[in-house]
Every structure is written in structure tokens, then in C-alpha cells.
Structure 1
Amino acid sequence: MSSDVPTVSETKANFLQAYKRPIPSIYNTVLQELIVQQHLTRYKRTHRYDAVFALGFVTVYDRLMEGYPSDEDKEAIFRAYIKALKEDPEQYRSDAQKLEEWARSQTANTLVDFSTKEGDVESILKDISERARSKESFSYSRFFAIGLFRLLELADATEPTTLEKLCAALNIDKRSVDRDLAVYRNLLTKLVQAKELLKEYVEREKKKAEERTGPQTANEAVANCLGEYLYLGL
């Protein structure tokens, strides 16, 4: 790694410097893992930013942060995270939105036939296909796989054969995509379970507090307990 490429520690420090408020542990643990993965991808010699990668990250981030206590903080964390990687959060959001809007207007057939059509998104996909074929300026990643799946999801074209055709058209190894999508689904399952446990914890503590002190004081007690649970990882 050349001297002008930051270390993982420097990227993580940039993130913490840009967003100084505490992040609940249920979210922060995953965020820290993601930023390490993304740093390693971001600074690979063959990596080049593309809109499918952006869509994949935005999809992961938004699903991870569902239910976050503050929408304003959620967006501030997003901006701090992307800027820590020396990239543009507005570009991530706008590119992801462009691909989402395009995918909603596609079918399974039109999605995989992008090479025969003209348009902004079609040009993006053609460029990815050419770079992936040459392997000189393309670096496959888990975020890219999730971006592909999101395109299929929005086009209501999630049949395995459609994914296979799209991977072939993009010169991407479907086995890698299948593996990474399995990891992604497992992550989502764990997040749902963790958030359910948190919900049960809050309800249980509120009931206990109401029995002791009444509804109003109970709400305050639960807020305190919830803060400890979220921020300290209890």
C-alpha cells in the first residue's frame, strides 16, 4: 500500500472526528465492520467507484439504520462515513436514486438486455461490463453484489435465472454474488433479531417501572435504561 493511501485506523479516526456523538452499539458495531470492508475495497488498485457499488452501500446503510432514533443524525452519520473514505455522500445518494428509479421501470428481460439499449444507466452498466471483462479497473465487492440484487428487487425480477443472466452480461462471477448475498441476508436476519430483543427489553423494563412508580416516571426510567443498553452495549 503506497504512502499516500490512508490506513484503516486513519479512516476510522476520520469518521469519529466527523461525527462525534455516541452511536448506539446495536448500529455502531456493524458500521465499524462495514467501514473496514469498504476501506479495503476503496483503496484496492483496481477499484473504481460506480453507481451499482453506491446503490449497494446505500441499501445496506438504510436497512441497517432503520429505526434509528433520529433521521437527522442518521443522515449526518452517512455523510461522515462517506467523507471518511474521501468520497462524496451526495454522489452516493444521487447515483443510488438514479439506479432505483431506472430499475423500477424495468422488467427481467429489459434489465439483462442493457447492452442493446441507450441511456445513462445502460451506459454505466456497459462500462462496468467492459471493465469487469478486462479485470484491469474493476474490483468486485460485496456492496456491488447487493447493488445488483437491489436492481433485481426493484424490477421485481428476483428469479435465480435473471440474476444468472445479469451476472453473465456484466462479466461477474455469480458464485461470488450468491455467497455475498447469503452473508447479507444473514446480516439482515441478525439485525432484525437484535432489534426485536431491544424492543422486548424496552417493553419489559417499562412494565417493571410502571409497577414500581407509575406510567410517567416509568417512561423516564425506560429512557435511561434504553440509553445505557444502546450506548454501552449491555
Structure 2
Amino acid sequence: MNNVRTVSDTKRTFYNRHTRPINTIYRRVVEELMVEMHLLSVNADFSYNPIYALGVVTTFDRFMQGYLPEQDKESIFNALCQAIEEDPQRYKQDAHRLQALAQSLPSKDLIGWLSQTTPTDRDADLAEQLLGIANNPNFKYSRLFAIGLFSLLELSDPELVKDEKQRTEALKSVASGLHLSDDKLTKDLDLYRSNLDKMAQALVVMADMLSADRKKREQRLQQSTTKVTPPSINE
């Protein structure tokens, strides 16, 4: 008997957990992330790790910027994790731990650690995870894992990831140390950065449309409430 959860099972669980409607522009983002997490969760070679968790949290936070109502974001994220039978607090705690770690390390030290050339004792759990990834020929690479790696570099040195040459060299070094395809890593991150730009542009357009619509409503309201004063009989 096949008990593997289906995408439909995951979506059903999600919408049972988060029952409020999702704003149109963000619905595709949420469902694509949901499907991606689902497909990884049912893959036999996939195993959870904190870098993947950072990738999930970063992707959600970046693509859900500007979401209203703001308080719904937590419910949506929690439902995403619960839909694949995971603990959202685990994701958040691991992501925050790695964010703080990356911000405290010079980029040179972080790259050396991620590429397995200069180990450090700063985080024993992460060190063990990195070693396990490097030594696992069946490690299930994912776009979300790549985003987690990129987020670490970005938090450590925002200027480094903006410079194409430095960014490319850093990613090649990390990919080599972890035995990942640097070509795949680079392509996934180029697409991620491109999609962030597109989302930002879409939000600007949406904000302009909402602003124009609000002004029109205000003008109509003002016109409807303006009373014409009748002329005086003495004029």
C-alpha cells in the first residue's frame, strides 16, 4: 500500500490550516514554494538540514514582502511547514541561528568553512552537517538549499554577492568543497535573484495601481458629498 503523501494531500492540509484567502499576487509564490517543499519531503534522498531551512525562511520572507494583512504571514508560513508534517519553529530557529552566525563571521572565514578548507568550532551542528553533505554522494541538492548558501554569504558580506566576480568565485569554492555542481548552483541563484527583481517590480506596479484606485475613490467620495449651495433670493 502506497502511503506517500500527494501534492493534493499537502495542499488540502495547508488550506485547512490557513483558512483566510491569500492575496492574488502572492498565491502563486505560496503554492510554488509549497509544491517544492512537498516534492523534497517525499524524496528518499532528502534530509532536513539548517541551510535548507534558511533557504525556506529566506525565500518566504523575500517573496512575501509587503503582504497584507501582515499578521497573516506567520499563519501562512506555519501552514506551509505543517502541510509537509514539519515543525515551523524548527525552521525559524535554525534559520535565525545561521543568520546570526553568518553576520558574525568575515566572508573569508565563512567561505573557508562552507568549502571545507578551514573548519571552525563556532557551530558544531552545522560543521557536522557540512561534513555529512560533502561526504554524501546521494545528497539531495535543491534550489532552496542553494538559496540558504547564498543567504549566508549575503549576510556575511552584502557587497561580495553584488560583485559578479567575487560571487562566482565564492560559489565555485563552496560548490567544490561540498561536491555540488557549481553550474547548477549558479544558475539556480541567478534565477532566484532575477525572480526577486521581477517580484519587486510587480509590487511597485501593484502599489501604483492601488494608489491610483484610492485617489479615484476619494475623488468620487468628495464629489458625492459636495453639496451645491442654492443662490440667495436677495442676490
User: Which bracket does the TM-score occupy, shorter chain normalised?
Assistant: 0.7 to 0.9
TM-score by length of 2: 0.85
Gaps of 5+ in 2: 226-235
Instruction: Name whichever of 157-166 and 66-75 sits farther off.
Output: 157-166
Q: How far off is 1:16 after superposition?
A: 0.5
2:191 matches 1:183 = yes
Structure 1 ranges of 4+ moved more than 4 A: none
Letter in 2 for 1:8: V
Residues 185-224 of structure 1: matches in 2 within 5 Å? 185-214=193-222
With a CA cutoff of 8 Å and minimum separation of 6, indicate the structure with the bigger relative contact order: 1
> Partner residue of 2:103?
104
Maintained 8 Å contact 1:112/1:169 = no
* Equivalent residue number for residue 162 of structure 1: 170
Question: How far apart in 1 are the matches of 2:199 and 2:8?
Answer: 25
- Say whether residues 1:131 and 2:133 are aligned partners: yes
Q: Distance in 1 between matches of 2:148 and 2:24?
A: 26
Q: Please tell me the root mean square deviation across aligned C-alpha atoms, in Å.
A: 2.0
Q: Say if 1:51 and 1:99, in contact at 8 Å, map to a contact too.
A: yes
TM-score by length of 1: 0.85
Identity of aligned residues (%): 36
Aligned-residue offset at 1:153: 0.3
**Unaligned 5+ runs, structure 1:** 218-234
Task: Quote the offset at 1:4 in angstroms.
Answer: 2.2
Deviates more, 1:190-199 or 1:72-81: 190-199
Whether 1:119 aligns to 2:118 is no
Give the Cα separation in 2 of the matches to 1:216 and 1:101.
55
Pair 1:197–1:215, CA change in 2 (3 A): farther
Q: C-alpha separation between the residues in 2 aligned to 1:47 and 1:90?
A: 20
Query: Which has the higher mean CA deviation after the structures are superposed, 174-183 or 52-61?
Result: 174-183
**Match for residue 84 of structure 2?**
85
Query: Helix, strand or coil: the match of 2:135?
Result: helix
Question: Residue 27 of structure 1 aligns to which amino acid in structure 2?
Answer: Y
Q: Retained in 1: the 8 A contact 2:49–2:129?
A: no
Task: Tell which structure's C-alpha radius of gyration is larger.
Answer: 2
In the TM superposition, what is the alpha-carbon distance from 1:215 to its structure 2 partner?
9.3
Question: How many residues are treated as equivalent by the alignment?
Answer: 214
Task: Give SS of 1:118's match.
Answer: coil
Does structure 2 retain, via aligned residues, the 8 Å contact 1:57–1:143? Answer: yes
Moved more, 93-102 or 66-75: 66-75
The question of whether the paired residues in 2 share the 8 Å contact of 1:152 and 1:163 is answered with no
